[in-house]
Structure formats: C-alpha cells, structure tokens
C-alpha cells in the first residue's frame, strides 16, 4: 500500500490523495461504511458498489473472530472471498470492542481477557494475536491493537494507557515483520494515536506514532462522548504532527459536519456506524439537513427523498412512501434509508475532494456546515 498526495487546499489543510492497495485505489478524502460482521447492515454488495459507490468497507476483528470464526474465513480464502467484495477492506483491531466490554474484560500488559457476548466463553487478545487474526481475515489495511480510553478519563490513566498502547504497537510491528500475508496480497499496518483529550499526551503519542514510519496512521479515542471542540482541537493538533505523505484516518467519526470540519484539518479517511445505524431509526442525512422520516409531517410529502441525491432510491421513492414503510416496520424501509444515508456520505466526501482539487473547498465547506447541521 502507498499514498499519493495529489493536492492540498490553499485555504485550509484539506488534502486530496490516492491510497493504492492490491484490491484497488481509494480516492481521498473517503468515508468507509462499517460492515461489522461481514455485512453492512441493510445493503448487499452490488448496492454498496453501484448505488453507494463505496470504495472501501470495514470489517470488525472482534466480531468476525467470534462469529463465524477464523476457520470459516480461512476456509473461504479470506474475508474478500467470503463476503464477495473485490474492493479494499480495512479491519479494526478489536480494541474498541474491548473498550465497550467494560464489565466483562480485564486489561493487563500482556493483553485483554474478555468474555464472549454470544456464549459467555473466555478469550484473550494480545497485540500478537490481534495481528494473527487480521492476517487470517485478510484485510488490506489492518489496525494495531490499542486501548481506547473512555471519556471522561483521568489524566494519569490516559497517560498509562497511551504508553501501553505504544508498547503494544512495537509488539504489533514485530509480529507483522515475522509473519506473512495468507492470501497473496499485501497488508498495511496503521498504528493509532491515543491520549484522550489532553494536548500534551496527544502530542507525545502523535510524535511516537509518526516515528514508527508506518504506511498510514490513525487517530483513535475520539468520538467517545467528548464535546466537538475537543474532537476538533485534538484532531487538529495530531494532524499537524503526523507525516503529510501518509494517509490519516480518524476513527469512528462522525456526523457530516464532523467529517467536513475534520477534512479541513487534514484527515483523509473516516468510518462511522452513524449513517447505517441512524437509518434504521428513520433519521436521514440529506443535502438540505437532517430529517426524521417517522415524523407525521412527511406523511403527505411526495417529493423525492433528496432532490440532490445520487442514489437510485433518492429519486424513485418519496418521503411519504418511506414514512409509510418505516411506520409499517417493513424491511424495505431500512434498506432504502441505509442506501440513501451511505450514498449521501460518499457523495459528500466525493464533492469535498472535487472542491479541494479546484480550490473552492473552504468556502463550500463553511456553507455546507450551516446547512447540514440543521434539522428540518
């Protein structure tokens, strides 16, 4: 994998680039739909490719390890073959899921012991094991094993956790160097900057991560409940330190406004469950703002879902029809809403890229933030 920086916006730190992988080239900035258990809920691969126009999707190491299990994935020839997706895949390390299992896991220097939410069985993830599992899954980009600290977080805890994440990273790198990909294509390791919302810790972590000279770098431990001003200040600080010739991935972020503001700070890659999860509850992100399609006001609105939408569903189906489907609890409602939201996110970053390339990003971004942040 390698990154090709094509252009930087003259009025911000926004960048347009290309991430080259063995499963194809990714145009940045990019949003990556989250396929937790080998599927992006509510859509199938052809819709992801053609309607959503996803260039890369995520798989979840923790969930795929537990179910269907590595024997199944290896038997299929890796995750790409198993799910029928020929484009790039990124897998997280499982660190965030471990963070979310606060009542059923124990963290030590060696790794994390946790209990399966499926059957109560106990499992252990070490940095080495996380790398081995991701080798078996076979993603193009794999994440270093880290501890994601909660918010709020005591300074001393955040500092200890950050240093442990750094030590774990060295073990991940050693394991990567001593193992080979299993399916004939290369895999890139991204380390993760931690440090909670403390500027000195974030600076120290970003400098350490930058010194490892990885093929790309990630910013973790944000979008866990902190105010937007902390999200932005930490992101801006870290982006000013991470090398410009490597892609920067802000994990788990966020709303359309969060994404545009973070692009302006120099972030290249994003993922978030928000567009698909919120779709299942009737929330649509549109070019005119956010709407709750469950509201009665849409019952007789026969206008398209989004007059500026890029997906098939945006022009064919009306707000009134989707309102009816979601009230009737029809499965089609989730499918339509999910395709719409994901296509909106992908179209948003595609337009951001075009604006970066033609030099109009900053003005366009400022206008879009005002529109996309409102409820209608």
Is 2 exposed, middle or buried, given 0-12, 13-18 or 19+ CB atoms closer than 10 A? middle
Structure tokens that stand for 41 in this block: 């809920």
Give the mean pLDDT of 96-113.
82
Flag whether 136 is marked binding: no
* Predicted confidence (pLDDT) at residue 83 exceeds the cutoff of 70: yes
Return the DSSP state at 133.
H
What is the pLDDT, as a whole number, of residue 64? 96
Catalytic residue among 9, 51, 92, 306: 92
Strands 15-21 and 2-8: antiparallel
Flag whether 178 is marked binding: no
| Catalytic annotation present for 271 | yes
Return the DSSP state at 184.
S
Catalytic residue among 9, 51, 268, 271: 271
Q: Does the residue 345 lie in any domain?
A: no
In Å, how far are 8, 116, 130, 148, 374 from 65, measured between CA atoms? 39, 10, 10, 19, 39
Return the DSSP state at 144.
P
Give the mean pLDDT of 49-53.
97
Q: Does the residue 162 lie in any domain?
A: yes
Give the mean pLDDT of 175-193.
98
What is the pLDDT, as a whole number, of residue 104? 78
Question: Do 275 and 341 meet the contact criterion of CB atoms below 8 Å apart?
Answer: yes
Flag whether 373 is marked binding: no
What is the pLDDT, as a whole number, of residue 197? 98
Flag whether 95 is marked binding: yes
Read off the pLDDT of residues 227-264 as tens digits, 9 standing for 90 and up: 999 999 999 999 999 999 999 999 999 999 999 999 99
pTM above 0.75, yes or no: yes
Question: Do 38 and 83 meet the contact criterion of CB atoms below 8 Å apart?
Answer: yes
What is the pLDDT, as a whole number, of residue 117? 83
Strands 269-271 and 248-250: parallel
Give the mean pLDDT of 39-49.
95
CATH number, domain containing residue 140: 3.20.20.105
Number of domains in the chain: 1
Q: Does the residue 281 lie in any domain?
A: no
Flag whether 249 is marked binding: no
What confidence tier does 304 reach under pLDDT thresholds 50, 70, 90? very high
Of the candidates 87, 38, 119, 90, the residue with the CA atom closest to the CA atom of residue 269? 90
Write out the H or E segment, with its range, that includes residue 242. none
- Rounded Cα distance between 110 and 164, Å, is 10
Of the candidates 299, 338, 296, the residue with the CA atom closest to the CA atom of residue 318? 299
* Predicted confidence (pLDDT) at residue 213 exceeds the cutoff of 70: yes
Tally Cβ neighbours within 10 Å of residue 23.
18
Length of the chain counted residue by residue = 376
Look up the domain containing 252 and give its range: 2-271
Is 218 exposed, middle or buried, given 0-12, 13-18 or 19+ CB atoms closer than 10 A? buried
Write out the H or E segment, with its range, that includes residue 217. strand 217-219
Q: Does the residue 157 lie in any domain?
A: yes
Partner residues linked to 271 by β-bridges: 32
Average pLDDT, the chain: 96
Residue ranges in 8-47 assigned as alpha helix (H)? 45-47
Q: Does the residue 135 lie in any domain?
A: yes
Flag whether 236 is marked binding: no
Write out the H or E segment, with its range, that includes residue 267. none
Q: Does the residue 329 lie in any domain?
A: no
| Catalytic annotation present for 268 | no
Structure tokens that stand for 24 in this block: 């194809």
* Contact partners, residue 259, CB within 8 Å, separation at least 6: 29, 31, 253, 270, 345, 348, 349
Q: Does the residue 227 lie in any domain?
A: yes
Which long-range contacts (C-beta less than 8 Å, at least 24 apart) are formed by 319-327? 319/291, 319/293, 322/284, 322/293, 322/298, 323/293, 323/294, 323/295, 323/298, 323/299, 324/299, 326/282, 326/293, 326/294, 327/294
Flag whether 175 is marked binding: no
Main-chain phi, psi angles of 83, to 5 degrees: -100, -5
What is the pLDDT, as a whole number, of residue 99? 67
Flag whether 254 is marked binding: no
Q: Percentage of the chain surpassing pLDDT 90? A: 92
DSSP SS3 for 154? coil
Q: Does the residue 308 lie in any domain?
A: no
Note the Cα 287 to chain centre separation in Å: 21
């Amino acid at each position: 994998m390698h990154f090709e920086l094509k252009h930087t916006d003259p009025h911000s730190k926004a960048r347009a680039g290309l991430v080259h992988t063995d499963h194809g080239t990714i145009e940045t900035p990019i949003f990556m739909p989250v396929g937790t258990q080998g599927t992006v809920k509510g859509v199938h691969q052809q819709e992801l490719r053609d309607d959503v126009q996803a260039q890369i999707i995520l798989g979840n190491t923790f969930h795929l390890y537990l179910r269907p299990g590595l024997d199944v994935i290896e038997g299929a020839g890796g995750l790409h073959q198993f799910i029928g997706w020929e484009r790039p895949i990124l897998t997280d390390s499982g660190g965030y899921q471990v963070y979310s299992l606060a009542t059923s896991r124990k963290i030590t220097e060696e790794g994390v012991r946790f209990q399966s939410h499926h059957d109560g069985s106990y499992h252990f993830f070490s940095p080495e094991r996380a790398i081995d599992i991701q080798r078996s899954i076979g993603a193009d980009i794999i994440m270093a094993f880290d501890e994601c600290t909660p918010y709020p977080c005591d300074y001393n805890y955040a500092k200890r956790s950050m240093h442990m994440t750094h030590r774990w990273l060295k073990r991940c790198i050693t394991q990567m160097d001593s193992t080979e990909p299993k399916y004939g294509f290369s895999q890139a390791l991204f380390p993760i900057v931690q440090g909670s919302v403390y500027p000195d810790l974030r600076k120290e972590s970003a400098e350490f991560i930058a010194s490892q000279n990885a093929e790309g770098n990630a910013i973790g431990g944000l979008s866990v409940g902190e105010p937007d001003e902390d999200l932005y200040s930490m992101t801006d600080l870290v982006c000013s330190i991470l090398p410009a010739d490597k892609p920067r991935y802000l994990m788990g972020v966020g709303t359309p406004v969060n994404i545009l503001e973070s692009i302006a700070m120099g972030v290249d890659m994003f993922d978030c469950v928000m567009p698909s999860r919120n779709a299942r509850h009737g929330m649509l992100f549109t070019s005119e703002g956010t709407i709750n399609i469950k509201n009665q006001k849409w019952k007789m609105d026969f206008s398209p879902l989004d007059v500026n939408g890029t997906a098939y569903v945006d022009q064919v189906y009306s707000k009134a029809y989707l309102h009816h489907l979601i009230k009737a609890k029809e499965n089609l409602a989730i499918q339509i809403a999910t395709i719409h939201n994901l296509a909106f996110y992908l179209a948003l970053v595609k337009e951001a890229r075009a604006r970066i390339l033609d030099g109009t990003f900053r003005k366009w971004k400022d206008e879009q933030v005002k529109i996309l942040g409102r409820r209608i």
